[in-house]
Structure 1
Amino acid sequence: MQAMIEASFRPVEFALGPPENVSVLCPVHKVEKCADCDVDYAGLNRLSRTLHTNTNLRCPPPPNLVNKQLTQAVTNTKEEGNALFKGGLYDKAIQRYTMAANVATQRAPWEHQALLREELATVLSNRAAAYLEAGDYIASLVDAEVVIQLRRNWSKGYFRKAKVLVKMDRKSEAKEAIQVGLAFDPDNKVCSSVRLLVCAHLNFVPGTARRTRTNRFLPRQERVQ
């Protein structure tokens, strides 16, 4: 094994950077991510900063360790976005949700990935709703798809996807999305109402004045959590 390690060993030149020489930079341009030098020390530096600022942290840390300060930061930033969303300030809400997502991704590698997935899914679900209200349907659909990838068994991602697909006049795809969501959460009344609404649109005959009672189940504004 030692022989294999030595055979594959390749020395790498680097420079130390602030704060207190705990970050690694490329030796030429003094940046942590450099295309010219073909190096990316971002992950290594994040781990280094975490260990440097937590002097009492054991190595390796316990698997159940959770950064409560970071959790609170994500929650506070998300709630700020929710307040802006409810006030109709969708662009500013999107900015706060984006910041909350960025904070969530700062979790150390050893923290439970389920927590990161849940935080990101909730924040991006809210951002999808804000994008929808702001009229940016493509961005809303992208966020909804990411939510589904993060939490496949959570109906909210499929709900977000279906709502934006209806706005994009892709109602057959919206019906498929909401049916998958209901498969995971068959008792979800909002998803059921969306499904009925989509089906009503699919059966709509141009030139007729047809209304559906399912509209009264749907909030005039998207809900965030």
Structure 2
Amino acid sequence: MSAVVDLQIHNDKIVCAQHKNEVCSECNQSFVEINDMTRHLKSNNGQVPAPGAVLPLRTQQITKMREDGNVHFRAQRHQEAIAAYTNAINVAFDRPLWEPTGPARKELAVLLCNRSAAYIARKEWVDALVDAEGVIELEHTWSKGHFRLGRALFGLERMAEGIEALKLGLMCDPDSAEIQKALKEAEATLTAGDE
């Protein structure tokens, strides 16, 4: 049986009346989801879109930021690329709860993969690893995520784990020339180190 908790609105958020917390460990309650839903409804003038509707303006914003990141990446302005991808990721994470999750997962996977590549270019291996793991969590069978993970692991001098990541990537896409090349190079490096 759940306990009854007195609610209060404080700074436009629902909180427990007793402790004034949106997430209250003492009352064992979280009002984050209802506050998110309220915020999204307010931004949409209280209109709930049809099931599966995607807000086109948000998609356009994310696409523009991703494209800006790609331009920076190609120009080797990797820090600017990271900033653009991060902004796009933040907007993508803030999609309303009623939007379908499938397209959002793919969108986030691409953004994280791109940011991972920018981190790799800057030799920021841990950040590249975290993003690559996020890609794999979102899109298990996308070989690009496994490729990024392998590259990040090589940067961290975890060669055997990197090779395993590339092998998983090849299982997802046996024709990937990019992964095949990286795997050959890594295995040659590992063999040379054993001699």
The 1:34–1:82 alpha-carbon spacing in structure 2 relative to 1, beyond 3 Å, is farther
2:4 counterpart (10, 17, 21) = 10
- Could you tell me which residue of structure 1 aligns to residue 42 of structure 2? 52
Letter in 2 for 1:57: Q
1:145 counterpart (133, 136, 149) = 133
1:170 counterpart (152, 158, 161) = 158
Q: For 1:25-104, what aligned pairs fall within 5 Å after superposition?
A: 25-27=15-17, 32=22, 40-55=30-45, 57-58=47-48, 61-104=49-92
Letter in 2 for 1:137: W
Contact 1:175 1:195 in 2 (8 A): yes
Q: How many residues align?
A: 195
In structure 2, C-alpha distance between the alignment counterparts of 1:15 and 1:137, rounded to whole Å: 43
Per-residue CA deviation, residues 62-91 of structure 1 (Å, 9 max, x unaligned), is 332111111111111122222222222222
Query: Can you give the 5+ residue segments of structure 2 that lack an aligned partner in the other structure?
Result: none
Cα offset, 1:57, TM superposition: 3.0
In structure 1, C-alpha distance between the alignment counterparts of 2:129 and 2:50, rounded to whole Å: 37
Q: CA RMSD in A?
A: 2.5
Per-residue CA deviation, residues 129-173 of structure 1 (Å, 9 max, x unaligned), is 111111211111111111111100100000001112222222211
Query: Can you give the 5+ residue segments of structure 1 that lack an aligned partner in the other structure?
Result: 1-6, 208-225
Contact 1:17 1:25 in 2 (8 A): no
Structure 1, 86-95 or 149-158: larger mean CA deviation: 86-95
1:128 counterpart (92, 116, 129) = 116
Letter in 1 for 2:40: T
The 1:99–1:37 alpha-carbon spacing in structure 2 relative to 1, beyond 3 Å, is farther
In structure 2, C-alpha distance between the alignment counterparts of 1:92 and 1:26, rounded to whole Å: 41
In structure 1, C-alpha distance between the alignment counterparts of 2:183 and 2:154, rounded to whole Å: 11
Structure 1, 106-115 or 146-155: larger mean CA deviation: 106-115
The 1:35–1:73 alpha-carbon spacing in structure 2 relative to 1, beyond 3 Å, is farther
Q: Which has the larger radius of gyration?
A: 1
- The answer to whether residue 134 in structure 2 is matched with residue 156 in structure 1 is no
Normalization by structure 2: what TM-score?
A: 0.86
